[in-house]
Amino acid sequence: APLPGYQIRITDQHNQLLSENRIGRVQMRGHAITPGYLFNEPANAEAFVGDDWFNSGDLGFLRNGQLVITGREKETIRVRGTDFYCHEIETVVNEIEGVLAS
């Protein structure tokens, strides 16, 4: 569930709300969400979809107010300006003791 001060919603590709248990785009807003990408207006236009909603790039659904992540819209995740392929992150996570490989 979102922390206090945050909201999460799931939308379709046109940013229309989806009902619970339907997979769509994970969007969030709150006081500590990034204010945007520095000097990158095209990225800001893609990431911010109105009313301060930030499109995370993740896919998922809500069930009883709980977020379930099911995948990514794109094959890369950007961390501090560096792109990582999802399979690279999954490989590292799968090596953590107690994590079952999917």
Average pLDDT, stretch 68-82? Answer: 85
Instruction: Look at residue 32 in the predicted model and tell me its pLDDT.
Output: 86
pLDDT score recorded for residue 90: 87
pLDDT at 102 over 80: no
Residue 19 in this model has a pLDDT that exceeds 80? yes
What is the per-residue pLDDT for 75? Answer: 83
Tell me the pLDDT of the chain averaged across its residues: 91
The count of C-alpha atoms lying within 13 angstroms of the C-alpha of 45, restricted to the half-sphere facing its C-beta, is 4
The candidate with the shortest Cα–Cα distance to 6, out of 26, 21, 36, 25, is: 26
pLDDT category at 34 given cuts 50, 70, 90 is: confident
pLDDT at 6: 95
The CA distance from 66 to 8, in Å, is: 9
